Structure 1
Amino acid sequence: MTTAHRVVVLAPDGVYPFELGIPHRVFGAAFGRYEVLTCSADGRAVRTNADFSITVEHGPEVLRTADTVIVPPFETSEISRAAPTALAHALRFMSPGTRIVSICSGAFVLAAAGLLDGRPATTHWCLVDLFREWYPQVALDPDVLFVDDGDVLTSAGAASGIDVCLHLVRADHGSEIANQVARICVAPPWRDGGQAQYIEHPVPQNTSSGTSAARQWVLENLHHPLTLADLASHSHMSVRTFTRRFNEEVGMSPGRWLIQQRVGRARHLLESTDLAVDEVAARVGFAGGTSLREHLNAAIGVSPLAYRRTFRGAPAQTG
């Protein structure tokens, strides 16, 4: 009988209970193909970011026996250089060739251990600036749900931990097994797109701004074919002056901002209505469904129908 693949989860203090449990839930549903153990950096109980602690059965020595090590995230308000560095020391117990995976802020631990130097990686979108400041040697990609770089995998926040664990099951045992595991976990076997579709981009609310009135007018008239000259005229400025002022106040060009607003409005309509894609496109000022598909895919990496499935899904069945 083939020995089960051993997954060891290294639980840090301040760990998020949901993410801590993801490896057990996903790999535990893989029909005995995996054995999942949990350890802490010192063998002691682990404080969670909730109102309870967790007793673990193992210290870092068990990492020597792991085929795969997973580092779940810990409370982001407590992230300091000392915290991931202390956890990184525990990773020294790993045997050469061990596959290692991080979820969300767990990437800080891998980076502190030098395991991400010169490699592609990701983490939660809200931690990107801090991660880049601390670890500029890492090729960070903030737009994806996870990065598979062979023996090192990193994933974004929360549910992307499910994505990367299902990806590992698929890589180890094929799509049929991964799909069965996904059904048991009531999770999609594969999610389209990346983190961009989960990030909101609020409109600046500086009402005294020289271009704020034009921006408000645009939001009320997105369904019309607006031009840069229209916006400049509404602000009683030349196109050149308006463009300069707009960039100063908003931090991007008027054209880019206009597309962003149209995409944002389209996302809202896809989430909240049953309008056909062409009708959504017309209501937000795109030339047609093809244009909407192109801009939505460029912005968040998914099609309108895939986005709608993600954020609306099928209606609940009753009776």
Structure 2
Amino acid sequence: MNETASSAAAAETGERRGASTNGTRRPQTDMGGRERRLLLVSAAATLFLSAAGVAVGVWTGAKSIVFDGMYGVVDAGMTLVAWSVARLIARGDDHRFQYGYWHLEPMLAFLNGAVLLFACTYAFVDGAGALLAGGRPVGADVGVGYAAAAAVLSFAAYAYLRHKGRGLGSTLLDLDARAWLLGGALSAGLCLSFVAAGLLEGAGAARSAAYADPAILVALSMCLAPFPAAAVARSSREILQVAPLDLDARVAGIAGEAAARYGFVEHRSHVAKVGRAWFVEIGFVAPSAATAKTMGELDTIRQEVVDAMGGLGPGCWLTVDFTADRRWI
């Protein structure tokens, strides 16, 4: 079926899209504004903590703290990009991006995951090299204080974002909150490593204490790497528009029930999820071209499909077609 024929069929059958019926075209000012404010607060806090980390790391000579700080700088940069993306999403669709800017969410998640995965790889290589070179001494006392404070602040920021962002359904805020949680775990691990180094130095084992910083750097990079790797894999599926199995099965079930209830001989559905946006297309085939239903009856079927799906929120595009010719679905 060519594109022109598809467009003509949609016009004749009364295509219904969620964007035209539930406000997708209107900016979501309240929720979008709260999302952007939280992202700005998070970015500012991340930059402050990261700058402190880089300064302390350079002062003490602890590469693990420098890595912690640089990890945060990258995350802050990604948060600012996320803020820009949130602004675009809140604008709704326009003549250039007629489905809105939802597609930018998985692209940003992919970029964020790729950069953080690269940072973890670099940290692993640096730590492994230091271990092979005999370790490196660090200022344990200052490191313990910084790492403990950073861990507390990171976990507090995670709890704050999760609480304030509840109900927004924001992929961007979820990514940012997860980054704070990972940062808190990283800082807690650093704190433990510096405590161990201090105990070893106090016991007269300064040579062994020199291995604490690179060892924890290697361990943390290995522990953190799976998280951005999972984000890259998940966002890749959305960028490639791989149909979510649960959504596909749910929509197919709803379409099958409607087809049986109203006497359609065939139905077909297609789904995709991109960021917070859902794209759902359902086609019903009537027994013959002589089958007669009023526009009101067709709209009733559409409404039943919407109700079965739980309603249409912002970013959900639904198309329901009716035809007697299988080619059109």
Higher helix share: 2
Higher strand share: 1
Question: Larger C-alpha radius of gyration, 1 or 2?
Answer: 2
Tell me which of the two structures has the higher relative contact order, counting C-alpha pairs closer than 8 angstroms and 6 or more residues apart. 2
What TM-score results when the alignment is normalised by the length of structure 1? Answer: 0.23
What TM-score results when the alignment is normalised by the length of structure 2? Answer: 0.22
